[in-house]
Amino acid sequence: MVQLVALLLLQPSVAETRRISATELPFERVHGVARSRSRWLVGGLRGLYLGAPGGDWREVSNQAVKTIVSTGNTAWVLYGNGAVDKVELDGDRLYYDVLKDAAKRPWAASIAADRASLLFGGDGGWIEKSGSAFVEKYPVELLAKQVTAAARVGKELWLGTQDGLFHIVGGKPARLGFGAGMPDVWVTALMPSGNSILAGLATGGLVRVERDKVELIPTPSTRVRLLARFGGRLVLGALDGAWILEGKSWTPLCDVEPTFIGELGNELVIGTPNGLRLFKSS
């Protein structure tokens, strides 16, 4: 009995169910995917396409896509040039460049979604969309800094840049850098975790930050690019692979560079240079 429990505990919590190769997709190196029923929206270096794996793909845009964030049946497409499109997959509607004429600085480097709002990390600040209203903040502390990641923990906002992590307290950013114990100042990804924030760093691994306390979390790679959550567990993407946190150990999901990590229905999807890998909770 003890052996059986031990065996169950050792079983990985996710299992790869299928792979979609690049030949079934409009291009290699996919940077984001959204899906509504059988309609797939795929973004990457060669643009944005609508279709289904193995079927016909229709070009929506030929501009390089950085990432796609889904909120319900709406997909938010962030392009490499900083523009953001909104795509309603069910209604087959595309809203071009939603920040243009809506924001003073219509340029984004990152997108994050929570239950109430969308956060766009911008040039020297951030743009928050809640309902139809856009609110922009460009504090002097973020001058000339691109916000590469954003996340909200309760009512507190955390912003990542290439020059430190910023905690917005009472509307004023407080910077956490090398002096605060950060092993790296280039924040590539943020993920709320209870009352704290997890920050993925370009070459410094992963840290947990609560207020101004920085704690390094051991990871299999220090070149972190992506953070996600699947079935309540943390998924980490780095330049040399992707892992899921099982208890206190990291279980490998793939050993090549993940180009994005997301969720499609009840599946975890990891983009690789050669296609997509899909996982389910086991």
Partner 1 sequence: MGKLSITKPLSLCTFLLACGAQAQHLERVYNRDTHESFTLKDVESKAVVKGPIVKQETVFSFDNPFTKLTEASVWFDLDQAAILSDFGYWYKDEYVPGVLMDKNKAWFIYTAITSRNEDPGIMVQTSPSSYHAQVYPLAVGHDFRVKLTSVGFLQPKDDTFVVPSPSFDGTQYEQTVESAHPETLQVDTSSTPPKNTVVYPKEGPLDMQVYAQKHRDGYTYVAGMLRTDKPDAKLKVKGIRKVYWTSPDDGSTKLFIGRRRGSGKVEIVTRDRSGSTREAKVIKANERGSDTAKLWAHQRLVQERWMNRRDVLNFSLKYQIPSSQTALLAVPQEQMKLFKKKAAEYRRQQAEEARRERAWQRNRRQNWSRSSGGDPEIRVYEPQATRVYAVLPDGRSFDLTKSRGGFWGGNYDIPADAPEGEYVVKIYAVNAAGETTEQSVSYQVDRTAPIGTLRMEDGFLVLSSEKDLARVVVVFGDGKEENMVQVEPGLYKLATGARRIVKVMMIDQAHNLGEVRWSN
Nearer to partner 1, 46 or 152 (CB): 46
Residue of the chain from 71, 117, 203, 281 that contacts partner 1 (CB under 8 A): 203
Residue of the chain from 32, 82, 160, 192 that contacts partner 1 (CB under 8 A): 82
- Burial of residue 37 (CB within 10 Å: 0-12, 13-18, 19+) is exposed
- Please name the helix (run of DSSP H) or strand (run of DSSP E) that holds residue 60, with its range, or none: strand 57-61
Strand partners of residue 187: 201
Window of 95-103, 111-119, 136-144, 191-199 that interacts with partner 1 by CB under 8 A: 95-103
Q: State in angstroms the smallest separation of the CB of 82 from partner 1.
A: 5
Mark residues 114-153: x for contact with partner 1 by CB under 8 A, - for none.
----------------------------------------
Question: Backbone phi, then psi, for 22, in 5-degree steps?
Answer: -60, -25
Residue of the chain from 256, 264, 278, 281 that contacts partner 1 (CB under 8 A): 256
Contact call for residue 263 and partner 1 (CB under 8 A): no
Residue of the chain from 49, 76, 166, 186 that contacts partner 1 (CB under 8 A): 186
Contact call for residue 174 and partner 1 (CB under 8 A): no
Contact call for residue 30 and partner 1 (CB under 8 A): no
Contact call for residue 239 and partner 1 (CB under 8 A): yes
Window of 9-17, 166-174, 180-188, 242-250 that interacts with partner 1 by CB under 8 A: 180-188
Residue of the chain from 12, 19, 24, 63 that contacts partner 1 (CB under 8 A): 63
Contact call for residue 231 and partner 1 (CB under 8 A): no
- List the one residue out of 120, 102, 118 whose CA is nearest residue 110: 120
Own/partner pairs, 170-177, CB within 8 angstroms, 24+ separation:
171/137, 171/139, 172/139, 172/141, 173/139, 173/141, 173/142, 174/212, 175/141, 176/209, 176/212, 176/214
Contact call for residue 200 and partner 1 (CB under 8 A): no
Own/partner pairs, 100-106, CB within 8 angstroms, 24+ separation:
102/134, 103/127, 103/134, 103/136, 104/136, 104/138, 105/136, 105/138, 106/82
Q: Residues touching partner 1: how many (CB under 8 A)?
A: 34
Nearer to partner 1, 129 or 225 (CB): 225
Question: Backbone phi, then psi, for 138, in 5-degree steps?
Answer: -130, 75
- List the one residue out of 220, 276, 277 whose CA is nearest residue 14: 277
Strand partners of residue 205: 201
Q: State in angstroms the smallest separation of the CB of 257 from partner 1.
A: 4
Nearer to partner 1, 153 or 176 (CB): 176
- State the pairing for strand pair 196-201/205-210: antiparallel
Binding site for partner 1 (CB under 8 A): 29, 45-46, 61-64, 79-83, 96-97, 100, 106-107, 177-180, 183-186, 202-204, 223, 239-240, 256-257, 273
